[in-house]
Structure 1
Amino acid sequence: MKNIVRLLLFSFAVLTTSGFYCNANDNSFFPDVVKEVTKGTVAIAINAPIKHTAPRILGTGFVVGEGKYVVTNYHVVSEPLDPTIVEDYVVLSGEGKKVKMLKGTVEYIDPQHDIALIVLSEPLTPLVLADESLLPAGTEIAFTGFPIGAILGLFPATHRGYISALTPDAIPAKNSDQLTLEMMKRLLDTSKIYQLDATAYPGNSGSPVYDIHSGKVVGIINKVIVKDTKESALSTPSGISYAIPVMFIQQLISRAEGKQ
């Protein structure tokens, strides 16, 4: 009788452990998370009907602040608009050929962290921002954006990986002749950014980086800030992807809200 009880207890333990393992590795939730994040992920473009038959895609952005703002990288919207023709920054929302185009105005910027806030002409579905805490290395993340532009329509691509390190956004150069003015400024006031074990491409600049379980945004993809500072002294840039933590987005939104 004792042997039977032991066998039953052992079987129960195995089944319980196996069930926990399966649930812990169940990724069936992830497509739903991506679907929700995609609703608030947009393409940033310049619309100039006189020069182009369709808006020229510059990068990616995502909706925040109850739907009235879009966050992207500052370098994505730093190109001066031509005042002699009808030329505007626009936000493209939707998927495939069903795309909604909204005019946007770049009103708030943080050049140090390469972030810009675009004010929309009408609200869109916003993403939820995580709190300002820095996440540890090993945290699973994903990002969604438009790495190939939108030649055939808007088709967002999602990449998944994890945070591989928290690293300064600038490193000292080996020689004085490798120092740039931008690098010298950053060495005086460095910030911790995320190094990612996931590949981002140029069109991904401005993509939301989010928690794979909740979909909350924890950062924003950035390619230029690191090329101009952290890796500018390297003869062969690493191609590693980086993200600016959400705390700097929160600060820019707070600044915008304070001005209204």
Structure 2
Amino acid sequence: MGYYTPDGNSEYQKPKKRGTANGLKWVAVIAISAIVGSGTTFALIPALKATGALPTSLVPSAVQQTTDSSSVTPVTSSQINVTVNNGITKVFKQVEPAVMAVVNYGQVSNTFSQSSQLQPVGVGSGVLFYKKGQFGYVVTNNHVVQGSAKVVAVLSSGKHVNATVVGTDPYTDLAVIKLPISDVQNIAPAAFANSDTIQTGETAIAIGTPMGLDFADSVTAGIVSAKSRLMPVEDPQSQQTLDYQAVIQTDASINPGNSGGPLLNIAGQVMGINSSKIVATGFQGMGFAIPSNEVLNIANQIIQTGHATHPSIGIDGYSLSSLPQPYWPNVPVDYGVWVQKVTSSEAQKAGLKANDVIVGLDGKTVQNMADLRTYLFQHKPGDVVTLDIYRGSTKMSLKLTLGSMASPNTTVQSQSSGQSGQGSSSDPLNPFGSGQFGG
């Protein structure tokens, strides 16, 4: 299926410059990627009109008469008032004011003048989720704001508001920005659902800014296709896999620009934050959202400290089922997480060894990396957990004290302003210790 390729910093189209060839080319480029972040693209309708792919008007210029008008009895029309107020309409009206476009400005070099200037380089979405004191707080994706020197929020009213990046977390692809309270005083923050109670098959509604600002406040709908799909989280610049994340799968249309926008249930509650989709020949309707419980956990940490702190086991590991059977250790199970290497003093002290297979955490069965990550992230650094493992044919339990890692800020704006959130680990790209935790 390939690798996760966020496009939050893709080239940005100013709304006034419509229908460029670059927009069409960019769509073709992302179409060959396996998994893409849903960050930014150009407006396409003007270009399609110019090529004749779309009609410039839906009203026919002339209607050919096929009968003698004198023999036709005139038909009169009457005014019919229709009130559309279904569930999706209600949700959109309720939540749309809290959803906004998030524009990433970066330093763009001018090859002729050998200088650089601040220009918009990417557009995503965000949703207001909290207000306190002098600020309103908006959650979005890390890949939407990564590398930004400046961030501007475009409200549903069309107003442009300078935003400040509070903090980012590349391991979960989440970020929080804040706006002056005066600009969001009359906007109600979106309510969040308990993502543990999400049901496969329930209605899923996405609101965001697909295809750039010309398509702001777009709504699409589908269902929750699956829960806890294990997907890679990659650094948009280095393409290094940082983590594996259990996400919500939906067939609600998620396109470039939807990144950071909400995935809602029929009650208008945020089930997740849209982050990526699969784009490949033969694949349709496979978008993904970060579950709301994880979003709130990380966002609240960022508001409080400027960064998110993750519990750390300190291993290199893979889902046993992802390994070719000839490489399996000699254990009596076909599930769990295989420990390739122990990389932290906490894990060594607990007694973990290479080739152990983790099959449980605090009494919960660990089938794969998704399970281990989900259970692990329910804890905080310093917690003592019980790992059930197989060492060969022998099953045993080990007590392990979780280590910690703080996520780094990934924006130029945050780093230059001295905000907190810089990781202190010698390996800032891995929340689980010095080796990669995932497979």
TMscore range, shorter length: 0.5 to 0.7
TM-score (normalised: structure 2) = 0.41
Counterpart selection for 2:250 from 182, 185, 196: 196
Counterpart selection for 1:33 from 88, 91, 102: 91
- Counterpart AA for 2:102: I
**Post-superposition CA distance 1:179-206 (Å, at most 9, x none):** x841xx53xxx44211112221111111
Match of 1:92 in 2: 154
**Post-superposition CA distance 1:190-224 (Å, at most 9, x none):** 44211112221111111100112x1011101111x
Does 2:273 correspond to 1:220?
Answer: yes
Paired residue secondary structure (2:171): helix
TM-score (normalised: structure 1) = 0.67
Does 2:273 correspond to 1:208?
Answer: no
Counterpart selection for 1:70 from 138, 152, 167: 138
Q: Distance in 2 between matches of 1:116 and 1:51?
A: 21
Aligned length: 200
- Deviation of 1:167 after TM superposition, in Å, equals 3.5
Q: Distance in 2 between matches of 1:71 and 1:51?
A: 23
Q: Contact (CA 8 Å) 1:221, 1:243: kept in 2 or not?
A: yes
- Deviation of 1:56 after TM superposition, in Å, equals 5.7
Q: Which runs of 5+ in 2 are unaligned?
A: 1-83, 108-116, 233-238, 307-439
Match of 1:111 in 2: 170
Whose relative contact order is higher, 1 or 2, with alpha carbons under 8 Å and at least 6 apart? 1
Match of 1:43 in 2: 101
Match of 1:130 in 2: 193
Q: Distance in 2 between matches of 1:218 and 1:74?
A: 18
Counterpart selection for 2:123 from 50, 54, 58: 58
- Sequence identity percentage: 26
- Deviation of 1:105 after TM superposition, in Å, equals 1.3
**Post-superposition CA distance 1:67-105 (Å, at most 9, x none):** 711111100000242xxxxxx21111024xxx2121111
Counterpart selection for 1:170 from 224, 231, 235: 231
- Counterpart AA for 1:38: E
Does 2:296 correspond to 1:250?
Answer: yes
Q: Contact (CA 8 Å) 2:176, 2:303: kept in 1 or not?
A: no
Match of 1:101 in 2: 160
**Post-superposition CA distance 1:115-152 (Å, at most 9, x none):** 1000212352211111242512111110101102124x
Q: Contact (CA 8 Å) 1:43, 1:57: kept in 2 or not?
A: no
- Deviation of 1:32 after TM superposition, in Å, equals 2.2
The verdict on how the C-alpha distance between 1:112 and 1:237 changes in structure 2, with shifts beyond 3 A counting, is farther
Counterpart selection for 1:139 from 202, 213, 220: 202
Q: Distance in 2 between matches of 1:45 and 1:32?
A: 27
Q: Distance in 2 between matches of 1:46 and 1:197?
A: 27
Q: Contact (CA 8 Å) 1:65, 1:253: kept in 2 or not?
A: no
Q: Over the residues paired in the alignment, what is the CA RMSD in angstroms?
A: 2.9
Q: Which runs of 5+ in 1 are unaligned?
A: 1-25, 82-87, 172-179
More helix by share: 1
Does 2:217 correspond to 1:156?
Answer: yes
